[in-house]
Amino acid sequence: MSIAPQIPSVRTGPACVQGLTENRIVLADGTAVEILTSYPVRPDADLFSLATAIEFHCADCAQPCEATLVAVRQRWLLCPGCYATLGVVRAPPESQVPDARNAA
Protein backbone atom coordinates (compact mmCIF):
# COMPACT_ATOMS: atom_id res chain seq x y z
CA MET A 1 0.00 0.00 0.00
CA SER A 2 1.43 3.35 -0.99
CA ILE A 3 0.68 6.85 0.21
CA ALA A 4 -0.27 7.98 -3.30
CA PRO A 5 -3.98 8.29 -4.11
CA GLN A 6 -5.29 5.03 -5.52
CA ILE A 7 -7.98 3.81 -7.85
CA PRO A 8 -9.47 0.32 -7.58
CA SER A 9 -7.36 -2.43 -9.05
CA VAL A 10 -7.69 -3.47 -12.67
CA ARG A 11 -9.06 -6.98 -13.16
CA THR A 12 -6.67 -9.90 -13.16
CA GLY A 13 -4.90 -10.55 -16.41
CA PRO A 14 -2.89 -8.05 -18.44
CA ALA A 15 -4.19 -4.47 -18.35
CA CYS A 16 -5.03 -2.87 -21.67
CA VAL A 17 -5.12 0.84 -22.43
CA GLN A 18 -8.25 1.88 -24.34
CA GLY A 19 -7.29 5.49 -24.91
CA LEU A 20 -4.27 7.69 -24.57
CA THR A 21 -4.37 11.48 -24.76
CA GLU A 22 -1.90 14.16 -23.85
CA ASN A 23 -3.04 14.25 -20.23
CA ARG A 24 -4.66 10.90 -19.37
CA ILE A 25 -4.69 7.15 -19.86
CA VAL A 26 -8.04 5.41 -20.15
CA LEU A 27 -7.89 1.82 -18.91
CA ALA A 28 -9.93 -1.04 -20.37
CA ASP A 29 -12.53 -0.74 -17.59
CA GLY A 30 -13.11 2.93 -18.49
CA THR A 31 -11.13 4.39 -15.59
CA ALA A 32 -9.24 7.54 -16.59
CA VAL A 33 -5.94 8.29 -14.86
CA GLU A 34 -4.21 11.66 -15.09
CA ILE A 35 -0.71 11.68 -16.61
CA LEU A 36 1.70 13.96 -14.76
CA THR A 37 4.68 13.46 -17.06
CA SER A 38 5.55 11.33 -20.06
CA TYR A 39 9.01 10.05 -20.86
CA PRO A 40 9.33 9.16 -24.56
CA VAL A 41 12.58 7.29 -24.02
CA ARG A 42 12.09 4.19 -26.18
CA PRO A 43 10.65 3.72 -29.66
CA ASP A 44 8.82 0.51 -28.64
CA ALA A 45 7.17 1.69 -25.38
CA ASP A 46 6.18 4.89 -23.60
CA LEU A 47 6.73 5.60 -19.91
CA PHE A 48 4.25 7.65 -17.86
CA SER A 49 4.17 9.10 -14.37
CA LEU A 50 0.58 9.01 -13.09
CA ALA A 51 -1.19 11.21 -10.54
CA THR A 52 -2.85 8.15 -9.04
CA ALA A 53 -1.35 4.77 -8.17
CA ILE A 54 -2.96 1.92 -10.07
CA GLU A 55 -2.92 -1.80 -9.42
CA PHE A 56 -2.62 -4.04 -12.45
CA HIS A 57 -1.06 -7.25 -13.73
CA CYS A 58 1.93 -6.63 -15.97
CA ALA A 59 1.40 -7.81 -19.56
CA ASP A 60 4.98 -9.13 -19.70
CA CYS A 61 5.68 -10.87 -16.37
CA ALA A 62 1.98 -11.30 -15.35
CA GLN A 63 2.83 -10.27 -11.78
CA PRO A 64 0.56 -7.91 -9.85
CA CYS A 65 1.93 -4.39 -9.63
CA GLU A 66 0.97 -1.18 -7.84
CA ALA A 67 2.63 1.82 -9.41
CA THR A 68 2.46 5.47 -10.35
CA LEU A 69 5.09 4.86 -13.03
CA VAL A 70 3.86 2.63 -15.86
CA ALA A 71 4.94 1.74 -19.36
CA VAL A 72 2.58 1.26 -22.29
CA ARG A 73 3.66 -1.06 -25.09
CA GLN A 74 1.20 -1.83 -27.88
CA ARG A 75 -1.66 -0.66 -25.59
CA TRP A 76 -0.63 -3.04 -22.74
CA LEU A 77 0.62 -1.94 -19.32
CA LEU A 78 4.08 -3.04 -18.21
CA CYS A 79 5.55 -2.77 -14.74
CA PRO A 80 8.66 -0.60 -14.29
CA GLY A 81 10.87 -3.70 -13.95
CA CYS A 82 9.77 -5.18 -17.27
CA TYR A 83 10.10 -1.79 -18.96
CA ALA A 84 13.69 -1.61 -17.75
CA THR A 85 14.53 -4.97 -19.32
CA LEU A 86 12.89 -4.41 -22.72
CA GLY A 87 15.36 -5.26 -25.44
CA VAL A 88 17.91 -6.67 -23.03
CA VAL A 89 19.57 -9.80 -24.35
CA ARG A 90 19.82 -12.21 -21.49
CA ALA A 91 22.86 -14.40 -21.06
CA PRO A 92 22.39 -18.14 -21.55
CA PRO A 93 21.95 -20.23 -18.42
CA GLU A 94 25.25 -21.19 -16.76
CA SER A 95 24.87 -24.80 -17.88
CA GLN A 96 25.07 -23.63 -21.52
CA VAL A 97 28.13 -21.41 -21.12
CA PRO A 98 31.20 -23.32 -22.37
CA ASP A 99 33.95 -23.83 -19.84
CA ALA A 100 37.15 -22.30 -21.27
CA ARG A 101 39.27 -24.82 -19.32
CA ASN A 102 37.70 -27.76 -21.17
CA ALA A 103 37.92 -26.10 -24.60
CA ALA A 104 41.67 -26.69 -24.96
Q: Give the Cα separation of 48 and 69 in Å (integer).
A: 6
Q: Give the Cα separation of 88 and 24 in Å (integer).
A: 29
The total of structural domains in the chain comes to 1
Does 61 fall in a domain?
yes
* Residues in CB range of 3: below 8 A, 6 or more apart: none
Average pLDDT over residues 42-64: 89
Does 59 fall in a domain?
yes
Q: Give the Cα separation of 94 and 44 in Å (integer).
A: 30
For the full predicted model, state whether its pTM sits above 0.75: no
Q: Which domain holds residue 47?
A: 17-84
In the predicted structure, residue 13 carries a pLDDT above the cut 70 = no
Average pLDDT over residues 6-24: 61
Of the two residues 84 and 99, the one the predictor is more confident about is 84
Helix (H, G, I), strand (E, B) or coil at 31: coil
**∠30-75-41 over CA atoms, to 5°?**
125
What pLDDT shows up at residue 3? 55
